[in-house]
Structure 1
Amino acid sequence: MKDRTEIEYGRYKIIAGTLNGNIKAVALFGKSKIDEAQGQSIDSVIVKIKEILDRIERERASQRRAPHIGTVEEYKEAIEHISMSSAERLMITSHAISVDRKMTAAELAKAGEYDSYSTANSIYGTLAKKIGNWIGLAAKDSEIRSNDVTFTFYLAEGEYNDADNWVWIMHPEVHEALSLLNMV
């Protein structure tokens, strides 16, 4: 391909250039071709392919039950593509197999082999942020701190239990994605 241009567009890669006298752009997700466009200039084919990708993303977003919760397929794709530390993997799989998919921050800390629940909150929140950003989820405001977001809402909802401890309840979509990936 002559005059080749590569750009990252969200989680996609766009490759544009001239091939056999035609100006084309192709959108890739990982190694999979999503779509292609042709046009009169490299700029015009990049605009066209971005419009196609934006339409695909709007369709995906319309399948979600809430702006901060992905679909099973989106979680599956994200978990397959992001890198996870051993502690993150222990925490998310322990959460998935816990009774009713519920865990406190202290229980998540223990699952990740940490002494501090605040460290566990940070690690699990970072994992949630990686997954949510990969999918393109909308951040949800913290229910405890004003002017702050809590990325863990990408993976779970929270509530106080009878002992006044915050409990994270994993979204069923995350659990199902982990099951499909044979992680639980």
Structure 2
Amino acid sequence: MELVLASGNKGKLQELRALLAPYNITVYSLADYPDMPETVEDGSTFLENAVKKAREAAAYTGLPALADDSGLEVDYLNGQPGVYSARFAGPQKDDAANNSKLLRLMQNVPWEQRTAGFRCVMAICTPQGEVYTSEGTCRGYILQQARGQGGFGYDPLFYVPEYDKTFAELDMSEKNKISHRGKALRGAVEILAKMAQEK
């Protein structure tokens, strides 16, 4: 079976290829389709954006497509930044600016009100229009200052009490076990494994 990942992210591609290797699924990415127009992520939910990206990639490539959309939902900010996580501080998608804005908005907020969750939704669409989805979440707290050198985005501010570490301090295998993306991806792999068996 062949599959296209609706992303050009090399890290995501490597991760997906490794997880799908036992199922004899060949994974391509949008880097293999440089002429495909970029999907406009104008959905109001992670689900809408993930389905839209997967649907457009499946239609363009003629292969089943997997897409994800994810972000940080801060309870004190009524779920912000949510679908705007990457462009919270502006369209330039600047991690440092996004983190600064978040810290500014959370200034003087007491610890017990600093709860937040990362959410990831994955969508698999076939060229025939079938849609399958999986979702993962991870709960934690927003620190008052960044900690750790790893990860990206809000990882240095997102603290996980069970590990006494931020996402940026966890090693990759620890992070994949508990992260929103890891959980959603395991759900997606189960769906894809079934699809491969049926082929």
Query: TM tier, shorter chain?
Result: under 0.3
Using the size of structure 1 for normalisation, the TM-score is: 0.27
TM-score by length of 2: 0.26
